[in-house]
Structure 1
Amino acid sequence: MATPHVARLLAGTLLGRLPNGMAPAALVLLVMHSGGTVAFGGVLSALYILASALSQPVKGRLLDRHGQTHVSGPAALINAASLLTLATISTRSQPALATALVALAGTCTAPLEAGLRALWSSVLPDPGQRRVALSADTGSQGLLFVAGPMLAALLAGQYGPGAALVATAATGLTGSLIVLTAAPSRSWRSPTRHPAARSTLHNPALLRLLLALTGIGVANGAVTVWAVDMADQHATAMLTGLIPGAYAAGSLIGGLLYGRRPWPGTTTGHLMGGAAAFTLAWLPLLALPGPRPAVALVLLPGLFLPVVMTSAFLTADRLAHGGNLTETCAWMILALGVGTASGTALGGALAAHPLAAATLPLAGAATTLTVLATARRHRAAATATR
């Protein structure tokens, strides 16, 4: 953190991404406040998340071509303007306009996460320092999706949902400005693309990595729904926040521990070992624990999540040569988002079956481990053939 620009870039990116957790909750509250249905609020919330996720690769490619200032700056302004406009209209009487504004706001979320991942290689040329920074980054981002909804709900309760949207817009814009006015972001340019370099989707190794991250997303989405199901089963509403909060706290602790000192082994070994530990850590949930043990047990997989994510992004840094690093990071973020959406949907469908719902996070993690193990065997076989 003492390295020039590191603390500023990390703090600014986390602040700029806090609206990713605030906006969906604020939209539901806004619709309900205007007399609309929870179903419509859920649609708008899902639309915002989906638009943000699906637009990531396009924004990543634009960053690689035009730099961060010329892409993330206008995106942050459009996102803020759309959210501010939403705060002034009635979603009940103007549903079409509200839907269009939400889609525009989601599409134009500033690609700060992908941009930061691309910046680390220039700000921190030492691989060991990059691992530490990535550990802090990946370990802390889970807290955004716990703190964001809580902050939106608090502001909406005190000042109304319109104020929550205004705060969401202001927070995203402030975080973006902190990052984009930093010297590394202003001067960053993607390396010249090598004529023989393949795009992200034409690189088999990167495709396997994307598939593996989808499994991580399934586990992330499934545990959130499982928390809601646990709260319903045990008539303890606070479990809805406590279980994801414990999972995020475990991730933060794991990120700090992983980044605290160098660990023996290679990045590939860390990726495989982290994925194996992440998978095994979900096994205790199959015993269908009660509320207190459940909160404690989800700390375990959270501890190993930063190991997997940090190693995955370091692996992508090595594989994505040729001037498309930001685009690759954006595809990885999209893969996580698709997995999270799938895990949420499957978790909802399995909610009536407690054992199946508790198994789903394990299934997602096991998918990740299987894909990585298969890819490793494929590389070994290819090397032996040569």
Structure 2
Amino acid sequence: MTLAAHPTTTPPPATYGAVLSSRHVARLLAGTLTGRLPNGMVPISLVLWITSAGGSLAFAGMLAALYGLASGLSQPVKGRLMDRYGQTRVSAPAVLVNSGCLLALVWIGASGHPAAVTAAVGVAGVFTPPLEAGLRALWPTVLTDPGQRRVVQALDTGSQGLLYIAGPLLASWLATTYRPDAALAATAALGLAGTVVVLTAAPSRTWRPAAPDSGAAGSERLMNTALVLLFLALAGTGFTLGAMNVWAADMATAHRQPLLSGVLPAAFSTGSFLGGLIYARRAWPGTTTTQLLATSTLFLLGWLPLLSQPGPRTAIGLALLPGLFLTLVITCGFHTVDTLAPSSRTTEAYAWLILSVGVGQASGTALAGTLADHPHTLAALPAAGAATALAVLACARGRLGPARRRGPARRRGRHRRTHATGASLPRHARS
């Protein structure tokens, strides 16, 4: 007698090689990172473009700030449109307008009318394609295994910091080796090319937002107290990032080592990338809320040694410590959004998270800039931002878990979502 074999389902391996070799993963990651390079290239390209033609640094800085502000503030609107109409119908026209406006700057010239230059920069910022939020929405359709999604999400988040190292370096090299116009043209080309790579991939072409849940009235309302508190906490995390950049510049001035202004953020970003690699290697215990609080605590603790204002070499090594936990905080933040947001509006919710971090970063830069003459206070600002984020999360802890979701419609929406739990594929993944 032979026993009948009972097939068992073995989950796919959650290793870096297995994830990156999965269909569409490498393409989507590479395309998104390429398409988002302009986020790091445009500010420095604008500054070099204006100043090389004899324009004022103040005007150049205003243009760089305008681009970032317009891009950030328009994210939720573009996310909402993407949830309604799909990715192609939003990102395709957006990238065409964005790249067209950047190329128009070359035609206008750095000595052109300030109003025309300002308008082109502002429109380009508004129409920045929402690649980051869109990619987050695609992962459940590409990788059905929660372990593999954890790996790719950590790789996604951890590599973002490298954009703000590679982007400025590439823009500076193009501007100095060729001319600033070349940096703007290359920025437009890279943004267009990366977006095309993403939008022509099958997961993006076929992605459709989940249908709105039926049931309790108002079940599809996005904002609730829990999400507002989460976004406020992540704004504190962003504040830390903005203050860190000014602190690094102050360290460079104080020690007369200009490279420190770039090396310190680079060390922090390297730590963030390494932290993502470590996090992705295994499943960690505890709920998403517990992990979010734990990583936020570690993020704060990582800043405390820097309060002693160490020398340059020690500071570079210590900057790795808080960086190790940044990817974990942001990744857990995205997972919490999955739990709290309606299934038909997750892309918009991701965009609000991205905006929250960006607004916090701008606020940290602005406040740190006003305190540049007070080095002890300036050195404490990154830790203060991390402490604020942790305090808000601690107060919101009881609201951040799935148990706070009310009504049958919300429960059904939670069971359909896989980005955090992997319970079952959402509707737009079943095609």
Aligned-partner SS, 1:323: helix
Q: Which amino acid aligns with 2:245?
A: T
Q: Is the 8 A contact 2:336 2:400 kept in 1?
A: no
**Matched position secondary structure for 1:298:** helix
SS of residue paired to 2:21: coil
Give the alignment's TM-score, normalised by structure 1: 0.96
The equivalent residue for 1:256 is 277
Identify the residue that residue 2 of structure 1 maps to in structure 2.
21
Task: Tell me the CA shift for residue 6 of structure 1.
Answer: 1.2
Asked whether 1:199 is paired with 2:221, we answer yes
Does the Cα contact within 8 Å between 2:289 and 2:400 map onto a contact in 1? no
**Residues 378 and 105 (structure 1), Cα distance of their counterparts in 2 relative to 1, 3 Å cut:** closer
Amino acid at match of 1:185: S
Structure 1 equivalent of residue 384 of structure 2? 363
Post-superposition offset of 1:335: 0.2
Runs of 4+ in 1 over 3 A off after TM superposition: 377-380
Quick one: structure 1 residues 209 and 359, their matched pair in 2 at CA, closer, same or farther if it must change by over 3 Å?
Answer: same
Distance 2:289 2:145 in 1: 18
2:264 aligns with: 243
Change (3 A) 1:198 1:205: farther
Give, as a single letter, the amino acid of the residue that structure 2 aligns with 1:199.
R
**Structure with bigger gyration radius:** 2
2:130 counterpart of 1:111: yes
Tell me, in whole angstroms, the C-alpha distance in 2 between the residues paired with 1:47 and 1:340: 14
User: For residues 310-351 of structure 1, what are the alpha-carbon distances to aligned partners after superposition, in whole Å with 9 as ceiling and x for unaligned?
Assistant: 111011112112400000000001001100000100111111
Higher alpha-carbon deviation: 84-93 or 175-184: 84-93
The Cα shift of 1:220 comes to 0.6
Query: Which sits farther off after the overlay, 42-51 or 122-131?
Result: 122-131
Q: How many residues align?
A: 381
Amino acid aligned to 1:125:
T
In 1, Cα distance between equivalents of 2:220 and 2:252: 47
Q: Which residue of 1 aligns with 2:90?
A: 71
- The 1-side partners of 2:25 and 2:129 are apart by 19
Alignment of 1:299-318 (within 5 A): 299-318=320-339
Q: Which of the residues 30, 38, 42 maps onto 2:49?
A: 30
1:161 aligns with 2:180: yes
Are 2:233 and 1:212 aligned?
A: yes
Taking the aligned partners of 1:233 and 1:199, their CA distance within structure 2 comes to 50
Match status 1:16 vs 2:35: yes
RMSD value, Cα:
1.3
Q: Which residue of 2 aligns with 1:122?
A: 141
In the TM superposition, what whole-angstrom CA distance separates every residue of 1:251-309 from its partner, at most 9, and x where no partner exists?
A: 01001111122222222221111000001100011101111111111100000111111
Amino acid of the residue matched to residue 187 of structure 2? T
User: Could you say what secondary structure the match of 1:88 adopts?
Assistant: helix
Q: Tell me, which stretches of 5 or more residues in structure 1 are unaligned?
A: none
Q: Which moved more, 1:76-85 or 1:89-98?
A: 89-98
- Any conservation in 1 of the 2:226–2:400 contact (CA below 8 Å)? no
Matched residue, 1:96: 115
Separation in 1, partners of 2:154, 2:79: 22
What does residue range 371-382 of structure 1 map to in structure 2 within 5 Å? Answer: 371-377=392-398
TM-score by length of 2: 0.86
Question: Do the aligned partners of 2:222 and 2:342 also contact (CA within 8 Å) in 1?
Answer: no
- Aligned-partner SS, 1:101: helix
CA-to-aligned-CA distance 1:216-236 (integer Å, 9 cap, x gap): 100111111100000011110
Query: Which residue number corresponds to residue 346 of structure 1?
Result: 367
Aligned to 1:329: 350
Asked if 1:135 is matched to 2:132, the reply is: no
> Aligned partners of 1:183 and 1:215: how far apart in 2?
37
Q: Aligned AA for 1:76?
A: V
Gaps of 5+ in 2: 1-19, 405-431
* Paired residues of 1:118 and 1:325 also in contact (CA < 8 A): yes
Are the aligned partners of 1:208 and 1:372 in contact in 2 as well (CA < 8 Å)?
yes
Contact 1:197 1:322 in 2 (8 A): no
* Distance in 1 (alpha carbons) for counterparts of 2:45 and 2:400: 46
Cα shift at 1:129: 2.0
Amino acid at match of 1:299: L
In 2, distance between residues paired with 1:322 and 1:113? 18
CA 1:167–1:299 in 2, change beyond 3 Å: closer, same or farther? Answer: same
Q: Deviations over 1:67-124 (max 9, x none)?
A: 0001001101111111011012223331110000000110111100010011112222
Query: How far 1:379 sits from its partner (Å)?
Result: 6.5
Identity %: 58
Matched-pair contact (CA < 8 Å) for 1:131–1:314: no
1:60, 1:326 within 8 Å by CA — same for their partners in 2? yes
Q: Classify 1:378/1:183 alpha carbon distance in 2 versus 1 (closer, same or farther; 3 Å).
A: closer
In structure 1, distance between residues paired with 2:278 and 2:343: 32
2:366 aligned counterpart, secondary structure: helix
Instruction: Report the CA distance shift for 1:46/1:3 in structure 2 as closer, same or farther (over 3 A).
Output: same
1:180 corresponds to which residue?
199
Post-superposition CA distance 1:123-154 (Å, at most 9, x none): 22322222211100111101111111111010
Give 1 or 2: higher helix fraction: 1
Aligned mates of 1:292, 1:87 — CA distance in 2: 41
